[in-house]
Amino acid sequence: MRLENLLEKIRYERVQGSLDQEVTELIFDSRKACPGCLFVALTGARSDGHDYIGQVIKAGAAAVVAEHLPEDGVCGEAAILLVEDSRRALAELSAAWFGYPAEKLITIGITGTKGKTTTAVMVKKILEASGQKAGLIGTLGAFMGEEHVPTVNTTPESYDIQRYFARMAEAGCRYAVMEVSSQGLKMHRVDGFTFDYGIFTNISPDHIGPDEHASFEEYLYYKSQLLKRCRVCAVNRDDEHFEEIVKDASCEIVTFGMRPDADYYTDRVDYLTRHGFMGIAFHLTGRASFPVEVNIPGLFNVYNAMAAAALCLTMGVGEEAICRVLQTVTVDGRMEIVYASETLAVLVDYAHNAVSMESLLSTLRAYRPKRLVCVFGCGGNRSKLRRYEMGEIGGRMADLCIITADNSRWEKVEDIMADIRVGMDKTDGKFVEIPDRREAIFYSIEHAEEGDIIAVIGKGHEDYQEICGVRTHFLDREELKKALVQYGYIK
C-alpha cells in the first residue's frame, strides 16, 4: 500500500523522506521490523518504541511515525513523520491498512465495570438466533466466523481490532460485537471508526492505580467516552452515576432499568431453580412487553439481559429470538451452570477478588440453599491482601469453604492457603483444605447434601493451571462433570 494513502486521515509533520513509496507491513513492535515496513513508535508502561527507531531504520523500514525524534537523531532515508499521539495514529493507520473493515460491519461496543462479557455473548447469540452472522472480541477471545483466537487484553490493540474486523467481514459476518474497556478508550484502541451501537452496563470504582486510572473521576470519564463514539447507546438508568455518564453524550440514548422512567424496565424479579435450569424471570415492560427467563442466576444478570434486549429491540430484532436465547444462554466461566436440579446446583465463576466473590455469594444466597459451598484458592505472585479478603468473605458468607490451589505460579500452594486462612480465622466459617484442585472439586461433589449450591470460583473459563511456571490443561467445568458422573448425578 502506498504510504501517502495510508496517511490520508492523519495530521503529521514530515521531517524527512518521501511519501511516494510502497509500505510492505504496518508494525508497532520493533522486533517485527522488516524492509519496507512502517513502524509506529508507541510509549508503553515498560518500554518506549521511540528508543528503537534507529534499530528499525537499520532493518530497512520505509517510514516511522513517532511523537518525537530520538535523542541521538535519525539516520538513513526513511520517511520520518511526527504526530501528536502515536496511538491515535496507529488506530487510523490500522483502519486504512485493512481497508476500513468497520464500514463493512455493524459494530456494537459494550462497556461498564461489570457485565461486559455476559452482555456481549447475549447480544451475539441473539443476533445469530435472528439469522445474522456476528463476530465477537473480548475477554473470551476473538471469534470470526469459524475462527477463534485468544486475546491478551479485553480490548486488544487497535491494529488487532482492525485485523479481526477484516477477518469477520471476510467470514461473512454482518455484526461485530466487542467489549470496550476503559483502558481501550484511554489508549485509543477503538479510534479509527465509530460504533453503530453501544451499551453502558454500570460503573463502580475499579482499575484505579499507577498503571491504569489516577482516580474514579478519570475512570468514569474514559468509560463515558463510548457515548461520544457511537450513534445509539443503551444505558443503565438505575446507575447512581447515570447523569454524569450521559451529560456529554453525542449519541441517541436508550435506557433500561427497574424504574418506570426507563425505556425498558421491569419491576419484579423471580428466582427459579428446576431440573436443568437455575436462573431468573422477569417481565420486560416499556417500549415492549413480554416475559423473559434467563438461564444465568443473579439480579445483575437481569440488568445484563435487559441491556441486551433493549439494544437488540432498538436494532429491530424480534422478541422471539431474544426470549429463546436468554432462556438457554450460557457464558463460559460467568455464573456458568454445570448442573442444576431440585436438589443440587453446581456452577463455575471467574470471581477472583473480594468484590466479585462477595457479589457472587450474595447472589446465590437469594436462592435459599440449604448450604452454600465455595471451592476457591488465590493466584500466586499476587497481592496477599486479596487472599486475606477472600478468606474473610468466604468464612462470613459461605456455609463451607474448600480452600485449594488456583494458579500458584511460583509460590507454594500451602503458603497461599495459609494467607487465605488469615482472613478465614477472623470468622466462624467452616472450611477444609485440599491443595489439589481436582481433589477439592471431587470432594465437593462427593460430600454434597440435598439443597446445596456449590460454586467453584476463581478460574472460570481458564483452561489451564499454572504451577511452578508450567501451564497444564485444567478446566473446572470438565472436572466437575467427571465428578458428577462418578457420584451418579449425571450419566
Calculate the average pLDDT of the chain. Answer: 95
How many C-beta atoms surround the C-beta of residue 333 within 10 A?
24
Provide, rounded to the nearest whole percent, the portion of the chain with pLDDT above 90: 89
108's CB contacts (< 8 A; 6+ apart) are: 123, 175, 176, 177, 178, 195, 196, 197, 198, 199, 311
Q: What pLDDT score does 45 carry? A: 75
| Sequence letter at residue 61 | A
Dist. CA 314–CA 464, nearest whole Å: 39
Q: Residue 213 — pLDDT band, cuts 50, 70, 90?
A: confident
Comparing CA positions, the residue from 314, 474, 323, 485 lying closest to residue 407 is 474
- Asked if residues 80 and 69 have their Cβ atoms less than 8 Å apart, the reply is yes
Is 80 exceeded by the pLDDT of residue 291? yes
Set out the domains of the chain in order of their start, with CATH numbers. 3-93 (3.40.1390.10), 101-328 (3.40.1190.10), 336-486 (3.90.190.20)
Comparing CA positions, the residue from 384, 407, 387 lying closest to residue 462 is 407
What digits encode the pLDDT tens for the residues 47-56? Answer: 899 999 999 9
What digits encode the pLDDT tens for the residues 74-83? Answer: 778 899 999 9
Phi, psi torsion values for 274, nearest 5 degrees? -150, 180
Q: What pLDDT score does 424 carry? A: 97
Q: What pLDDT score does 206 carry? A: 67
What digits encode the pLDDT tens for the residues 240-284? Answer: 999 999 999 999 999 999 999 999 999 999 999 888 889 999 999
What digits encode the pLDDT tens for the residues 462-472? Answer: 999 999 989 99
What digits encode the pLDDT tens for the residues 11-31? Answer: 999 999 999 999 999 999 999
Q: What pLDDT score does 70 carry? A: 85
**pTM for the whole structure:** 0.89
